Structure 1
Amino acid sequence: MTYKSILTVLTSEATANAPLAQSAALATSFEGHAEALCLGVDRTQTGYYYAGANALVLQETMSRAKDDAAKLQNLAEETLKKTGCRYSTDAGIAQIADMGRHVARLSRFSDLVVLGKPYGEGVGVEAEPVVEAALFEGRAPVLVTPEENQLKGKPKTVLVAWNESIEAMTAIRRALPLLITADLVRIVVIDPPQHGPERSDPGGMLAQMLARHGVKCEIDVLSKTLPRVSDLLIRHTTDTNADLIVMGAYGHSRFREAILGGATRNMLEKATVPVLMAH
């Protein structure tokens, strides 16, 4: 497996630089194709259309969203063209309530989705639904890239969060192209269960599986000395100078959809290095 179709979804010029640069770097490294979906967001509440809202007001919001999409597409074209990678761009407008459908459709046909952090100063409210749609509806692996620290080329040290869950294994399998190229992969097990199937050798079977792919592994068994597992992982990332975290994405049911769980949200809020997640 490799990353040949790499999608990024842009909704704001203020947060577009990091995912564009990351997408281009990965497309170059894996000889893949970077695709940028540039969405102008119509933030008009859906109910306004049925409450007698002034037609001029509605038209104004649509026109503004269309202009935003065009500006985003120009930015994406200029940025990706300079990198020399293979790329394409597309522009459109969508309401916040309907964004998930568009993002999920393209995510299903992508090997990897690269997005900016969905939380922080200057980040729009639409950023979180974009991440949720790619993960839970599109079922694609998502690489969330902070503005200040992108993954340049091959990772040196990768931290893999392992808790024997299906979500964690899904993320690891989807991250294999990056794990294979890394200098070292650290399998992190936090408070392994005393009566679990791996009680005598936490992380051992995973390390064996990865080693057969040529991945150099080490296993770190940690005690939960902080209230949140995500805080412990972030601290260990700093201690080991890791430049990528791989972990499962967990959510809560919202009718037929899902929303990010607390641990996943906390990790995306505080992580200072790229985080690759899958569900």
Structure 2
Amino acid sequence: MSYKSLLTVLTNPQFAGPTLSQLVALASAQDAHAEALCLGVDRTQTGYYYAGANAMILQETLSRANAEATEMLEAAKDILGKSGVRWSAEEGVAQIADLGRHVAHRARFSDLVVLPRPYGETRGAEVEPIVEAAMFEGHAPVLIVPDDRPPLAKPSTILVAWNESVEAMRAIRMALPFLKQAETVRIVVIDPPQHGPDRSDPGGLLSQMLSRHGVRCEIDVLSKTMPRVSEILNRHAVDTSADMIVMGAYGHSRFREAILGGATRNMLEQAEVPIFMAH
């Protein structure tokens, strides 16, 4: 079992290099096809133009979006063409309000979507909805790639964030190709319920299921010694020299996480290793 169709969606030339390098590394390790969708994003909302605005504004924004798409396509062809993997790349322009439809359509036919971190000072407003569209409408797992780490071809140590949720289990099932290849998979349980059905053996049934797939598991039960779950996971990833974190995404509503924060958003903001997410 492996990933055979890998997709990335590029909307910012600044982050095209690291994302494409990660895509190539995975395609080579998994013997997969790498696909790059290079989208120039029209970030204007034509229904809200100020009085007196004319068509020149629309033409300028479309020209800029086309130029960005062409620049990213050339970068994709350059990197993918020299990689030795099977690949394809194409360009297009989409309005920001309609971006999710295009991403979801491509993600639906992909085994894994590789994307840059959606939050940060230089990130555009379109990156977060791309991640969400791939997971929610495309029903595909997403690998979020930090900017400053070398490409990851075959993770050796993987942390699995386990809270007995449906989202976590879905992510684990979809991450099985990575989990089976890893040398060590650490099932991380933070403050397990004292009165739950697995209170005497937190993570035990999951470890049993994964071991039947040939996954080499260890269980780490941690106390919530820090305010946020994301902080504990990130610290444990550093302490164990983990190469990847697998976790379920958006156990709460996206609106709640956008307003109040949550484990998903905090991890996407702070994690220093690639994060495999599914919903």
TM range (shorter): over 0.9
Q: Distance in 1 between matches of 2:271 and 2:94?
A: 29
Tell me the amino acid that sits aligned with residue 149 of structure 1: R
What SS class does the counterpart of residue 215 from structure 2 fall into?
Answer: coil
- Any residues of structure 2 matched to 1:106-145 within 5 Å, and which? 106-145=106-145
Tell me how far 1:151 sits from its aligned partner: 4.4
Does the 8 Å contact 1:151/1:243 carry over to 2?
no
Does the 8 Å contact 1:179/1:185 carry over to 2?
yes
Tell me how far 1:153 sits from its aligned partner: 2.0
1:151 to 1:72, Cα distance in 2 relative to 1, 3 A:
closer
1:219 to 1:132, Cα distance in 2 relative to 1, 3 A:
same
1:171 to 1:51, Cα distance in 2 relative to 1, 3 A:
farther
- Any residues of structure 2 matched to 1:61-210 within 5 Å, and which? 61-210=61-210
Paired residues in the alignment total: 276
Does the 8 Å contact 1:7/1:112 carry over to 2?
yes
Q: Distance in 2 between matches of 1:33 and 1:155?
A: 19
1:276 to 1:253, Cα distance in 2 relative to 1, 3 A:
closer
Q: Distance in 1 between matches of 2:183 and 2:132?
A: 31
Normalised by the size of structure 1, how large is the TM-score?
0.95
2:249 corresponds in structure 1 to 249
Tell me how far 1:46 sits from its aligned partner: 3.5
Q: Deviations over 1:197-226 (max 9, x none)?
A: 211110001101111111100000000001
Does the 8 Å contact 1:150/1:274 carry over to 2?
no
Does the 8 Å contact 2:18/2:151 carry over to 1?
no
What SS class does the counterpart of residue 253 from structure 2 fall into?
Answer: strand
Normalised by the size of structure 2, how large is the TM-score?
0.95
Q: Deviations over 1:123-164 (max 9, x none)?
A: 111111111111111111000000111442211100000001
Q: Distance in 2 between matches of 1:49 and 1:106?
A: 31
CA RMSD of aligned residues (A): 1.7
Q: Distance in 2 between matches of 1:276 and 1:51?
A: 46
Does the 8 Å contact 2:246/2:275 carry over to 1?
yes
Q: Distance in 2 between matches of 1:73 and 1:253?
A: 31
Tell me the amino acid that sits aligned with residue 269 of structure 2: E
Tell me the amino acid that sits aligned with residue 157 of structure 2: T
1:100 to 1:80, Cα distance in 2 relative to 1, 3 A:
same
Q: Deviations over 1:250-276 (max 9, x none)?
A: 15166xxx9796220110100000000
1:187 to 1:239, Cα distance in 2 relative to 1, 3 A:
same
2:221 corresponds in structure 1 to 221
Q: Distance in 2 between matches of 1:74 and 1:151?
A: 20
Q: Distance in 1 between matches of 2:203 and 2:235?
A: 20
Tell me how far 1:181 sits from its aligned partner: 0.5
Q: Distance in 2 between matches of 1:150 and 1:175?
A: 20
* Unmatched tracts of structure 2, length 5 or more: none
Q: Deviations over 1:155-182 (max 9, x none)?
A: 1100000001000000001110001110
Percentage of identical aligned residues: 65
